[in-house]
Amino acid sequence: MLMRDAVEPLSRSRYTAEASDWDHAAAACYFSEFTYKKGNEIYGEREPADYVYQIVSGAVRSYKLLPDGRRQIGAFHLEGDIFGLENDRRHRFTTEAIVETTVKLIRRHSLEALAEKNAGFALNLLTLTTDNLRHAENHMLLLGRKTAAERVAAFLLEMDGRVATTDVLALPMTRRDIADYLGLTIETVSRVLSRLEGAGILGFSGRTQRQIVLNDREQLRRLDQPN
Amino acid sequence: MLMRDAVEPLSRSRYTAEASDWDHAAAACYFSEFTYKKGNEIYGEREPADYVYQIVSGAVRSYKLLPDGRRQIGAFHLEGDIFGLENDRRHRFTTEAIVETTVKLIRRHSLEALAEKNAGFALNLLTLTTDNLRHAENHMLLLGRKTAAERVAAFLLEMDGRVATTDVLALPMTRRDIADYLGLTIETVSRVLSRLEGAGILGFSGRTQRQIVLNDREQLRRLDQPN
DNA sequence: CGACGATTTGACGTCTATCAATAGGTGTGG
DNA sequence: CCACACCTATTGATAGACGTCAAATCGTCG
């Protein structure tokens, strides 16, 4: 992995609430910025986890592969998200930029040093990890027990809550990414979306199929959490 | 949830390596022991997470339910395992004793106090959470992308590594538990096990179907990680 | 001993995957 | 700016893996 060594001027930021003193901490650390082109790998599974990343702009997928190429995306990371924090010598996922993506890099070493001296900061790292764990736990339920329609509905609602939303949901990822996140195929994802469109629950905006208008979030919620 | 308030005499223990100073820490905390009968709930999802648990003997399942009753077991906890640590006001799973199970209880409050004063201990909590996260991440891959045979093979290998093993793998859980852990039905689990038995890869010991002899772990590994 | 739960096994059904064809979008190079 | 290649997405036909329904066996426990 390449990275530039230009030091960024420090800047206040308005990222996740949990990371309230994150910026404060990061300010005390050496960090730089780097931009990845669409499709480029940020780090690979089992590579040394020397850096932690925070997305300035763009989107990232993190995934595992089986030897025969089947892929499971564990999470999407969007603007403001922190990823790559492993509390482990090596990364457990491969991550790639879904679109052109700029990240801030923080030396893992710096965080650890801070955590050892500052118990409050260590708890902060714990909170980040707990957030990831909660997400993974919910996703296990989705992958193990939900139907295709329920998965897609859950995905749309998740993204609706996370993407800086005007009135259209602008998805950065392809149908393949969505399918590999939901444990489905692209065809199934496409079919479910078409049916939802047919039912008037959502509509497509513009000529691309990645701009989605959610007309009936209540119905989506009912789909996601069946009785 | 009921619990006795009898204070246990402190005792050295030989539990997980990650928890090396766990016992040390626990010794500094108020804690007691309690025994749950087979099938009894230890805590429910969304209940206040006031205690953390360590299994002295027995086995526990922790799961989520969908409103219509579909169940996803996120993890099994065996002797020595610590569970119920949420870093969160409320539990995110329901847990039940699979067989008669004795646990040590530690007040969450005690751990937090310790973590605030002692950065090393906070990192220790982080390690526990990271272990859970790693497991959940691997399980997402299993649930999202593996076939029934691969899931069962992975399950057997996981338990083989975790159950205090003589030469037979004595499973505490039912086929239903296994199925709900693997995102399958009991019938599918049963069929896969039968096929593995037919292929000579495993055998059943005694009259119960929960004592399994793994004759060919290498083959199981190939099943789990296909080329 | 009898009832109930756990497990296995078979027959059949269905949801999602696979295979395949088409169309649309994007980017590149002449 | 158009032609071409390639990627993305949709849609239909078909297949297959796993689920559902059902019955029988076996073990456990009151």
Q: What is the pLDDT of residues A14-63, one digit of tens each?
A: 444 444 566 666 665 667 999 999 999 999 999 999 999 999 999 999 99
Chain centre to alpha carbon of residue A140: 16
- Could you tell me if B122 lies within 8 Å of chain A, comparing CB atoms? yes
Alpha-carbon span B153 to B225, nearest angstrom: 9
B115 vs A: CB within 8 A: yes
B184 beta carbon < 7 A from strand D? yes
Which pLDDT belongs to residue B30? Answer: 61
Least CA distance to B126: which residue of chain A? A126
Q: Which of A41-45, A76-80, B12-16, B142-146 is the least confident region?
A: B12-16
Indicate whether B119 pLDDT > 90: no
Q: Is the pLDDT of residue B3 over 90?
A: no
DSSP H or E segment with residue A201: none
Residue numbers of B between 166 and 225 with CB closer than 8 Å to A: 180, 182-183, 225
State residue A11's pLDDT score.
Answer: 36
* A97 CA: distance to closest CA in chain B (Å): 20
The answer to whether the CB of A109 falls within 8 A of the CB of A50 is yes
Positive or negative, the CA dihedral A49, A54, A56, A58 is: positive
Element housing B19 (H / E): none
pLDDT at B2: 39
3-class secondary-structure state, position A191: helix
Residues 6 or more apart whose Cβ sits within 8 Å of residue A14:
A80
The predicted pLDDT at position B221 comes to 97
Q: What is the pLDDT of residues A76-100, one digit of tens each?
A: 999 999 999 988 899 999 999 999 9
Cα distance between the two ends of chain A: 48
Of A71, A120, A226, which has the smallest distance from its Cβ to B68's Cβ? Answer: A226
Residue B200 DSSP class: T
Q: How confident is the model at residue A123 (pLDDT cuts 50, 70, 90)?
A: confident
Q: What does the angle CA A70 – CA A73 – CA A79 come to, to the nearest 5 degrees?
A: 150
Amino acid at A173: M
| Cβ-Cβ contacts under 8 Å, A122 against chain B | 115, 119, 122-123, 126
Q: How far is the CA of A193 from the C1' of D18 (A)?
A: 24
> What average pLDDT does the segment A170-190 reach?
98
Q: A60 near A43, Cβ under 8 Å?
A: no
Label each residue of A105-139 as H, E or C: EEEHHHHHHHHHHCHHHHHHHHHHHHHHHHHHHHH
* CB neighbour list of residue B113: distance below 8 Å, 6 or more residues apart: none
CB within 8 A of B179, min separation 6: which ones? Answer: B185, B186, B188, B189
Of B23-27, B89-93, B171-175, the least confident: B23-27
**CA B68 to mean position of chain CA atoms:** 24
What is the helix (H) or strand (E) element at residue A212, kind and residue range? strand A211-214
Instruction: Pick the range with the lowest mean pLDDT from A17-26, A192-201, B96-105.
Output: A17-26
Min CA distance, B126 vs chain A (Å)?
5
Q: Can you give the C-alpha Rg of chain B in angstroms? A: 18
Q: Which residues touch strand C (CB under 7 A)?
A: A 147-149, 183-185, 187-188, 207-208; B 174-176, 186-187, 189-191, 193-194, 204, 209-210
pLDDT digits (tens, 9 = 90+) for B176-225: 999 999 999 999 999 999 999 999 999 999 888 999 999 999 999 999 98
What is the model's pLDDT at position A215?
A: 96
Show residues of chain A in contact with B182, CB under 8 Å.
144
Say yes or no: A87 contacts chain B, CB-CB below 8 A: yes
The pLDDT score that the predictor gives to residue B21 is 64
CB-based contact B83:B62 (threshold 8 Å): yes
